[in-house]
Structure 1
Amino acid sequence: MRKKTCNARWTFLPITLLACWAGIPAPSLTEAPNTSPPNIVYINMDDLGVEETAPYGHPLFKTPNLDRMTAEGLKFTQHYAGTSVCAPSRCALMTGMHTGHCEVRGNIQMQPHGQMPISPETVTVAERLKEAGYETALVGKWGLGIEGTTGEPTRQGFDTYFGYLDQVLAHNNFPAYLVRNGRREELGNEVIWEPKTALFKGLGSFTPEPKVYSNDLFTKEGLQFIARPHNKPFYLYLAYTLPHNNGEAPKDQRFQSPTLAPYENEPPGGPAWTLLEKTYAATITRMDDYVGQIMDALKKQGLDKNTLVLFSSDNGSTEDIPQRFAKTNRLRGMKRSPYEGGIRAPLIAWWPGKVKPGVSDLPSAQWDFLATACDLAGVKPATPTDGLSMVPTLLSRGRQTRHDHLYWEFHEQGGWQAVRQGNLKLIYKVKSDQYELYDLNRDPAEQTNLVEQQPETVSRLKSLLASARTPSAHFTFGRNG
């Protein structure tokens, strides 16, 4: 059954007001018709901080394929995740709504397990592309509804899916099973399950003797999808779980890679890295190898000239990142943080012959993906959206419309809101009722709070902060109503 339009939801289903906020402007699409819609591959990493690869300045991690992707593609330096944790960030990516308007604005655990599912009325980028004639596939981590719920990927525009639907299950890269189109596939890993607490619902686990690595399977699945015959354009959402930690594992084994390559003997001639350091670094390079395999497969199949590949991450670095690596970061904050290190994300666009190599400082966010994908497919988004098409920047044609502002919110640890307008960014810490103002142009590390020096700016951005969101029955910052 076809989903209701946004206007129908507004009239008959007021509970879904969040997904149809009437004040959001429609995107400005490029006028030239796209006679040959490209394939789209979106590679999304999990807790990969923006500064954790060589293209973004990390001095220790070996990422030769991302180096190649950057040399051949367009690197964005002012790109942002949906927010600073998994589910709401992925909701923003899928729906084109920022966390002041999208349905899932935080990590809420549901019964019997899994996260809050998106509703039948929510329109995803997969649905729009499917309606435009695309073949759609999800491989990897979802987090927006488990099997049997309204958020199951095949009910949200994906023809097929394989991977983790539950984010807690996805903590373990050597899981007992994965889910393919509603059915569990046992992997042969013997796991130790967490007690059935309110948070984990029994699905947090650790594997003492690992055998089968989920991310290897995701790459294999993605390669098989690319290799098979396609009589229509395709959209592949490849959502890896690296380098996310496993909080259910012993502390020295929280990062999981089948090997320590190429860091077994790091650093040469100096004090050896710890096992945790080697394993974390190995996940970064293994991730990089996956990206190289996808790029090479597209070239081998002759698809690279008509395929846009995007590489990004859902939020900042995990708090467990070894200090040896974190101390080189220039940006403040990590996952769950309102600072740039918590919400800034890498974005590398690769499309040989179409996307010119270079660097873009365009302020953009993952909620721009839906408008961009629809523009490339030659269709309009079905609903109002917070996103803007990035096609003019990607293809170096036409005028690039810019955001008036970017907005984020977070609902754990007392909660926070943040808004960026131009180079100015206001942060509001809800529980402590404190504001912070930063000039990102002069102070990208957010060290100098300008609240006292610029009261008029603070007042203006406070008003914007308040108007940038619609009420949510589920996400209230602990307030009643």
Structure 2
Amino acid sequence: MSQIRAKIRAAFHRSFPHQFRRKTATFIVATSAALFVLTLLTTPVSADSNGPPNVVFILADDLGFRELGSFGQTKIKTPNLDKLAAEGMRLTQHYSGNAVCAPSRCVLLTGKHPGHAFVRDNRSTPPEGQLPIPDDEVTLPELMKRHGYATGAFGKWGLGGPDSTGEPLRQGLDHFTGYLCQAHAHSYYPPYLWNDGKRIDLNNSPAVPGHAGLADGADPADPHSYDVFKGQDYAPDRINAAAMEFVKTNRQQPFFLYYPSMIPHVALHVPDEELKPYTDLGWNDPPFTRERNGYTPHFTPRAAYAAMISRLDRYVGNLLSLLDELGLAENTIVVFTSDNGTTHLGEEVDYTFFSSVGELRGLKGSLYEGGVRVPTIVRWPGHVAPGSTSDRISGFEDWMPTLLDAIGQAENVPKNIDGISLLPTLLGNAQPERPYLYREFTGYGGQQTIRVGDWKAVRQNMQKGKLETELYNIATDIGETKNVASDHPMIVKELEKMMADVRAPSTEFPLIPLDSPVKKK
């Protein structure tokens, strides 16, 4: 018990992990344009005549921990991603930035955990977009651009609408194609997308809404009643093509490609040709008719959801094949992960049928494991061992220092972030245990959690003024089924103190009762 308390206290005193990086080697990589000085945390990576590595960062949307074959899925086919895992490393205790889209992406792009990040929940800013990140936030694309990288993002942004401070081209991106607004991205057959600050019309007339019901009098047992939710111009195809064109255009220079896909976020929109491999399986697949609420109906929702993930897998395969074709694969870091866990909309996405989060508790919107532990793969030929696995605890805030470290810019990691470089782990070297991993979320009732080693403290319903702390031992109870807080009061006390000390109050997203008094009814 004393050892556990010592570990927790030590973790608190290491609340600023950037001060504890270890640098053990420096060497020079020659390129045709400049000299790149690499300071690594561990043994040197062999020099590469192609220069600093390219980075392709692929972010799925609402993909659950067990929804890839390489992470235990048995019903949905993901051959390209499974191959990527076989060629790289699986991170089995990696945590998204938060439990829903916008705050998770904010953590990813700023390197700050949710107790320091500016965006801590989804918030729309009509007529289009979400609360923008401010000008003074330093983002990963800005840093990559500063160090000579061409930068592009393709997919769903969610951190600022048109003409806002968070608009992609104002946050370090040379190019952006996709949706600025998360609500706009609920339709895969929209009327337009954004391309470098301009609207481009799609061939969807009429556009398919993200939220709508069957027509009055339509027969829910007739598959043709659902044809109204099928469009002509599938936006993910456009986005995948734009991402590939970015690679072709920038193949002669280092590039950073951020690919925040909309898939498999509902609505269940996918071309019919993708459905057949799953409808042929004979699943008992009752239609989703949207009798109460939700997104748009689908005649075969299980097949549609599986087909969407397989479509994403195909897009990833397209990119990987292009890297091979252009001779770039050996010098490209590819990261694949998800912004949070599987949606909780069970009538649309049958997460029980697919065992989407497996043995984990919680879904999207929850800070229990199923809402934030996400499937993560890293491939870097010659550096990351094929078929390797790491169970080291890590999170989205770690990608900024990791990628800067990998391109030889460790000394230029911002000092005010919370991330810790994962490079030693990716290279197969020993790395100290993460001091702590902190998450807070004002949505879904208000939540707070911190993990130190195997201990995880959780608070729920905080916006109602509740401060009761649950305690779980993740090593022995991965499903968070047994609250052992009453058995370990001293550990609970230490973790509660840490949860108070490692965060800063937010005026935009106050976590009640920590940031403001409880309102009386």
TM-score in same-fold range (> 0.5): yes
Aligned residue among 222, 227, 235 for 2:248: 227
Do the aligned residues in 2 keep the contact of 1:255 with 1:279 (CA within 8 Å)?
Answer: yes
Aligned-partner residue type, residue 325 of structure 2: K
Aligned-partner residue type, residue 32 of structure 1: T
Do the aligned residues in 1 keep the contact of 2:187 with 2:209 (CA within 8 Å)?
Answer: no
1:208, CA displacement in angstroms?
2.8
Do the aligned residues in 1 keep the contact of 2:357 with 2:363 (CA within 8 Å)?
Answer: no
Alignment of 1:369 with 2:399, yes or no, is: yes
Do the aligned residues in 2 keep the contact of 1:82 with 1:90 (CA within 8 Å)?
Answer: yes
Percent of pairs with identical residues: 39
Matches of 1:218 and 1:42, distance apart in 2? 15
Alignment of 1:392 with 2:424, yes or no, is: yes
Alignment of 1:276 with 2:301, yes or no, is: yes
Matches of 2:255 and 2:419, distance apart in 1? 22
2:361 corresponds to which residue? Answer: 332
2:103 corresponds to which residue? Answer: 88
1:463, CA displacement in angstroms?
0.4
1:401, CA displacement in angstroms?
4.2
1:435 corresponds to which residue? Answer: 469
Aligned-partner residue type, residue 393 of structure 2: P
Distance 1:434 1:255, change over 3 A: farther
- Equivalent pairs counted in the alignment come to 440
Deviations 1:79-107 (A, max 9, x none): 00001000000000000001000111111
Matches of 2:133 and 2:448, distance apart in 1? 22
Aligned residue among 258, 261, 271 for 1:240: 261
1:272, CA displacement in angstroms?
5.6
- Runs (4+) off by over 4 Å: 192-195, 270-274
Matches of 2:368 and 2:112, distance apart in 1? 20
Higher Cα Rg: structure 1 or 2? 2
1:34, CA displacement in angstroms?
6.0
Do the aligned residues in 1 keep the contact of 2:73 with 2:355 (CA within 8 Å)?
Answer: no
1:350 corresponds to which residue? Answer: 379
**SS across alignment from 1:136:** strand
Aligned-partner residue type, residue 412 of structure 1: G
Q: Which runs of 5 or more structure 2 residues have no equivalent in the other structure?
A: 1-13, 30-50, 212-226, 288-299
**SS across alignment from 2:279:** coil
Do the aligned residues in 2 keep the contact of 1:44 with 1:239 (CA within 8 Å)?
Answer: yes
Distance 1:87 1:257, change over 3 A: farther
Do the aligned residues in 2 keep the contact of 1:114 with 1:167 (CA within 8 Å)?
Answer: yes
1:250 corresponds to which residue? Answer: none
Aligned-partner residue type, residue 396 of structure 1: G
Deviations 1:230-251 (A, max 9, x none): 34210000110011012xxxxx
Do the aligned residues in 2 keep the contact of 1:266 with 1:272 (CA within 8 Å)?
Answer: no
**SS across alignment from 1:243:** coil
1:129, CA displacement in angstroms?
0.8
Matches of 1:327 and 1:283, distance apart in 2? 14
Distance 1:359 1:25, change over 3 A: closer
Deviations 1:283-312 (A, max 9, x none): 111111111111111111100010000000
Aligned residue among 19, 26, 31 for 2:18: 26
Distance 1:130 1:423, change over 3 A: same
User: Pairwise mapping of residues 152-167 of structure 1 onto structure 2 (< 5 A)?
Assistant: 152-167=167-182
Q: Which runs of 5 or more structure 1 residues have no equivalent in the other structure?
A: 1-21, 196-205, 247-253
**SS across alignment from 1:420:** strand
Deviations 1:307-349 (A, max 9, x none): 0000000000011221311477211110001110000011101
Deviations 1:353-388 (A, max 9, x none): 221121111111011000011112222213421111
User: Pairwise mapping of residues 1-16 of structure 1 onto structure 2 (< 5 A)?
Assistant: none
Matches of 1:193 and 1:255, distance apart in 2? 10
Matches of 2:256 and 2:247, distance apart in 1? 10
Q: What is the TM-score normalised by the length of structure 1?
A: 0.87
2:296 corresponds to which residue? Answer: none
2:390 corresponds to which residue? Answer: 360
Matches of 1:78 and 1:133, distance apart in 2? 32
Matches of 1:147 and 1:383, distance apart in 2? 30
Alignment of 1:402 with 2:403, yes or no, is: no
1:263, CA displacement in angstroms?
0.8
Aligned-partner residue type, residue 101 of structure 2: C
Matches of 2:240 and 2:229, distance apart in 1? 23
Superposition CA RMSD, Å: 2.1
